[in-house]
Amino acid sequence: MGVLQQFFPAHGGLARAEQNADRADASGRVDAAHAAHARAPEHVSELAPQALSSVPFAPIQESGDAQAEDAETSGPHLDTAALDTVIRERSAKGSWPLAIRQNYARATVARQKSDHQFLFVLGFLVAVFTIALDFMIHPESAVTGAWLRAFTIIPITVVGLVAGARGWHWIMSVCVGAAPIAFAVIMVYLGLQMSAENTARYLTATALIVGIANIILPYSMRQLLAFNAAFITGAFGTVILTSPQGYVAYFDYLFLLCVVTAATVPLAYRIERLRQRNFLLNLRASATSRELTLANRALRELSERDPLTGMANRRYFEQAFAKKIALADKADDAGTMLSRGRIAVMMIDLDSFKMFNDTNGHQAGDQCLLLVARALQRVFSDSDGIVARYGGEEFVAAIRERTPGDAARLAEEVRETVATMKLPANVNSASRITTSVGVALSPAAKTLPREDLIEMADAALYNAKRGGRDRVEVVEVEKPLRLSA
């Protein structure tokens, strides 16, 4: 068993190695993501990393095609420079980096399973149809040949197919090579019972079998050499054990087997090398596609993220509003339509922030914006809503109310949280940060465009500013807002 596994290694071990590599690669990506997430602009103080780490950011959900593409290109991390070197230098498989060999093993298992199943069916049909040939050439031995096929080819085929279904790939590989060997041994045995002319035909046919097998069997070179050694040993061993004339008279048959093997193994090697190169080129194309996908994703996330606070920006808010907030009523797992609450859009603006910057400096202002971003994210974390930096000292948020009054309550919580927020030590003790909030409410039955809701919330914010700042102003669609004079 150990010798067989050396030539037909169990792919379970390779699969475990791939899983370990995947986990290590995923761990490295997480560490890199944390490191990138912790980096803040250079002009922000040491408070920035702490604030950034507390402001989670969820990119817009990708489409099914994008997710499928990402899943297709996932796997052990590839060093594309090393891959390019392997392709350019036409390196032998044994010298490939581990990640490339793991990808090749994975692709080989998937390809060989379908190839082996086809070869089992093809070999079984050939074995059955040649029974008729036995009856035509030598009826006296045809029945014996049929029984020998039934007790060898059928069990080997069944074991191979079951092994493939259970994932025992090395057993399947052994069986797909054992089937033609068993068939050749049967043909040699039957041929030796016939006339010299028919014996020559049968022995020549076995040489044809080994030649065809070398071309079509999906084996590596090491496996193919083991197969040829077993084939020649089985075929000529049958001659030694059963030939009435003795084996010396059949040295020419042994020579024929060796010649066919010597002629077809290099061709098989050439085919295997072309198959490996085709795999490498496809892998490089997949790696390039993956790099482009990751680069596009990174660019998209950067375009949707505010560089100072690390939270979502206006672009993200506009896209997420349509996907997460302005959706029609949805059904639960049982198919029952769920009633959706009112849509609320909030415009949140820091009061007299220009004066704060003039008094304490822009660096202190940036620190305060980071603190406000963290506070807003905390307030809206359980609301299934969206909060983003709209521009300057202005933020925007949107939610679907679960119960009436949720929007007004959240807006008041925002106002209180910002008003009681602890400011950095380098801020003038007389300075304080407050915010005014304008809330626009649209009933679920009357969904207004996002732009209209923002305009209404902005008008409510204007009233809050005119009313003395540090306050919340709510306007509903049924109650048109009149701007203060």
Has residue 128 got a pLDDT over 60? yes
Domain 312-476 has what CATH class? alpha beta
| pLDDT tens for each residue of 462-475 | 999 999 999 999 99
C-alpha 88/C-alpha 81 separation (Å) is: 10
**CA dihedral in degrees (387, 388, 389, 394; nearest 10)?**
-40
pLDDT surpassing 70 at residue 263? yes
Count the alpha carbons within 13 Å of 123 in the hemisphere toward its beta carbon.
33
**Which range, of 10-14, 148-152, 216-220, averages the lowest pLDDT?**
10-14
Query: Can you give the pLDDT at residue 77?
Result: 64
Q: Give the residue, 330 or 282, on which the prediction is more confident.
A: 282
How many percent of the chain have pLDDT more than 90? 35
Token output for 405: 């009054």
**Mind listing the pLDDT tens digit for each residue in 310-327?**
899 999 998 888 888 877
Distance, CA of 346 to CA of 342 (rounded, Å): 13
Average pLDDT of span 335-360: 81
Is residue 25 over pLDDT 50? no
Say what the pLDDT of residue 304 is.
86
Cβ burial, residue 263 (10 Å; 0-12/13-18/19+): exposed
Instruction: Encode pLDDT of 157-179 as tens digits.
Output: 999 989 888 888 889 889 989 99
Tokens representing 237 are 């061993």
Reply yes or no on whether the pLDDT at 376 is more than 90: yes
In the chain, domain spans: 2-287, 312-476
Please report, for residues 141, 149, 150, 182, 271, the alpha-carbon distance to residue 136 in angstroms, rounded to integers and kept in the order given: 11, 17, 19, 22, 37
What's the pLDDT score for residue 344?
A: 92
Nearest CA to 376 out of 346, 354, 340 is that of 346
Q: Quickly count: other Cβ atoms within 10 Å of residue 419's Cβ.
A: 13
Asked if 152 contacts 127 with a C-beta cutoff of 8 angstroms, the reply is no
Residue 281 CA to chain centroid, in angstroms?
A: 19
Cβ atoms of residues 87 and 284 within 8 Å: yes
pLDDT at 210 over 60: yes
C-alpha to C-alpha distance for 177 and 160, rounded to whole angstroms: 10
In angstroms, the CA 236 to CA 256 distance is 11
Residue 30 has pLDDT above 80, yes or no: no
The side-by-side arrangement of strands in the sheet containing 343-350 is: 312-313, 386-391, 394-400, 343-350, 435-442, 472-476
User: Residue 445's pLDDT is what?
Assistant: 66
Token pair 């070869």: residue = 119
At residue 411, the pLDDT reads 94
| Mean per-residue pLDDT, 198-209 | 92
Q: What is the pLDDT of residues 69-94, one digit of tens each?
A: 444 444 556 778 888 888 888 888 88
Specify the pLDDT at position 323. 84
Q: What is the mean pLDDT of residues 56-60?
A: 52
In degrees, rounded to 5, the angle at the alpha carbon of residue 171 between the alpha carbons of residues 156 and 257 is 65
CA 164 → CA 29, 121, 157, 399, 409, distances in Å? 34, 13, 11, 53, 62
Closest CA to 395 of 379, 408, 382: 379
Q: What pLDDT score does 35 carry? A: 42
Spell out the SS3 assignment of the chain.
Answer: CHHHHHHCCCHHHHHHHHHHHHHHHHHHHHHHHHHHHHCCCCCCCCHHHHHHHCCCCCCCCCCHHHHHHHHHCCCCCCCHHHHHHHHHHCCCHHHCCHHHHHHHHHHHHHHHHHHHHHHHHHHHHHHHHHHHHHHHHCHHHHHHHHHHHHHHHHHHHHHHHHHHHHCCHHHHHHHHHHHHHHHHHHHHHHHCCCCHHHHHHHHHHHHHHHHHHHHHCCCCHHHHHHHHHHHHHHHHHHHHHHCCCCHHHHHHHHHHHHHHHHHHHHHHHHHHHHHHHHHHHHHHHHHHHHHHHHHHHHHHHHHCECCCCCCEEHHHHHHHHHHHHCCCCCECCCCCECCCCCEEEEEEEECCHHHHHHHHCHHHHHHHHHHHHHHHHHHCCCCCCEEEEEECCEEEEEEECCCCCHHHHHHHHHHHHHHCCCCCCCCCCCCCCCEEEEEEEECCCCCCCHHHHHHHHHHHHHHHHHCCCCCEEEEECCECCCCCC
Nearest in space to 127 (alpha carbons), one of 105, 109, 152? 152
Q: Is 109 exposed, middle or buried (0-12, 13-18, 19+ CB in 10 A)?
A: middle
Q: Which of 138, 243, 254, 145 is nearest to 197 (CA)?
A: 138
